[in-house]
Amino acid sequence: MFFFVSGAAWLEYYAFRIAGMRPLILAAITLISLILLFVAYLRYRQHKPALLAESPSPQQKRVDRLFYIVVATEGVAIFIVGNVLINFGLSAWFIPAIIFIVGLHFLPLAHIFAYPPHYISGAALIVLSVAYPLLAPSGPSSPIGCLAAGIMLWASAFWAITTNKSLKLRIP
């Protein structure tokens, strides 16, 4: 599940900003990520025969296409906003902007997949992206946003694999 990987990336960046290149800390985050990914894989493997048995319906093909459009739009938005912020000398706001865009991308995904918890994840990330630069002592350059984003993404992924016994649609 991608949330575990992206959550780990945020946590690794936080750890790097706080502790530098400490192999033990980075290895611990990586190990936890691998364990969580393995749990997600076991969950996938449990449902794999049913997924392979069904051929993609027109609705599923539409969902897949919309998913790829949302993800591509997210990537393009991060690229454009990042460049604009850097060119205007506002590079400290790049991390909050990424968190905001990632939060935004959850909103259409919640609708596309008919999975309401994505609304919560998206809203939490959006609130985080606005609040932490205002509340953190070092403003938008504070690594606390990375820590919170990583924890939120891990929590969202863990929630999905432990509570969602049967999705109405396959998530690519």
Residue 107 located in a structural domain: yes
CA proximity to 154, closest of 11, 44, 46, 23: 11
Query: Would you state the structure tokens that stand for residue 32, as one six-digit string?
Result: 């936890």
Residue 111 located in a structural domain: yes
Residue 54 located in a structural domain: yes
Residue 172 located in a structural domain: no
- Model confidence at 23, pLDDT cuts 50, 70, 90, reads confident
Convert the pLDDT of each residue in 58-97 to its tens digit: 998 999 999 999 999 999 999 999 999 999 999 999 999 9
Residue 98 located in a structural domain: yes
So what's the pLDDT on residue 93? 98
- Domain of 37 in residue numbering reads as 2-163
Query: Would you state the structure tokens that stand for residue 4, as one six-digit string?
Result: 């575990």
Residue 171 located in a structural domain: no
Query: Would you state the structure tokens that stand for residue 68, as one six-digit string?
Result: 């790829």
So what's the pLDDT on residue 165? 54
Residue 138 located in a structural domain: yes
